[in-house]
Amino acid sequence: MDVQIEPSWKAQMQAEFDKPYFTKIVHFIKQEKKSGKVIYPEGINIFNTFSQTPFNEVKVVLLGQDPYHGQGQAHGLCFSVQDGVKPPPSLMNIYKELHDDLGKEIPTSGNLLHWAKQGVFMLNAALTVEANTPMSHSKIGWGQFTDAVIKKISDEKQGIVFLLWGRFAQEKEILIDASKHHILKAAHPSPLSAYNGFFGCKHFSKTNILLTQQSKKNILW
């Protein structure tokens, strides 16, 4: 299948695009749209994290679960929302930890595009969702694709910092070769769990220390 995705990622993932399950994903989404359902993010942004962080530029991997399902929120980067949209509670907790860790002022915008541009690959396990219906596309095959993406990064690269926040993300640890990558784990930043180990994790400073040790440029969070 000829998928419109950033060229370096296309080269890495073409074998997945050619598998029957991926064809089924595409067919499902097309049928849902034909039936009048609203799907987020819009088509141009489904592979946005791949567009913003080419394969050879990935330094950090941040895993999410499901795109935001409200109007104007999702734009293909996990935890990030588009400009002009109020930052959701989990993102506000990320900003609070960032403030406590590095002294950064809490931004008014929830757009994390500047992270992606610096090599933070922000991947949701599912890349689409039906409007106002969380987890609605979690079983259509996206998990197989994004698991393959994680494994490809693990297999082909070295010294990547994986940020696994919450149980769901931590279940992906089995896809990562811990002998050549760095895995930082904490509770999910959701208000339901942030006080159980996300606050105080200092993952932003720890990530930069690990990057410095590899002579890689720090992330300006």
What's the token pair of residue 51? Answer: 């567009």
How many angstroms separate the CA atoms of 3 and 212, rounded?
35
Provide CB contacts within 8 A for 123, sequence distance 6+. 49, 61, 62, 63, 64, 78, 146, 149, 150
- Measured in residues, the chain has a length of 221
Catalytic residue among 66, 83, 101, 147: 66
How many angstroms separate the CA atoms of 93 and 99, rounded?
10
Provide CB contacts within 8 A for 198, sequence distance 6+. 93, 97, 165, 186, 187, 188, 189
According to DSSP, the residues that pair with 163 across neighbouring strands are 62, 184
DSSP state of 57: G
How many angstroms separate the CA atoms of 41 and 68, rounded?
8
The answer to whether 128 and 41 have CB atoms below 8 angstroms apart is yes
DSSP state of 43: G
Mark whether 66 is an active-site residue. yes
How many angstroms separate the CA atoms of 70 and 82, rounded?
11
Residue 208 amino acid letter: N
Catalytic residues: 66
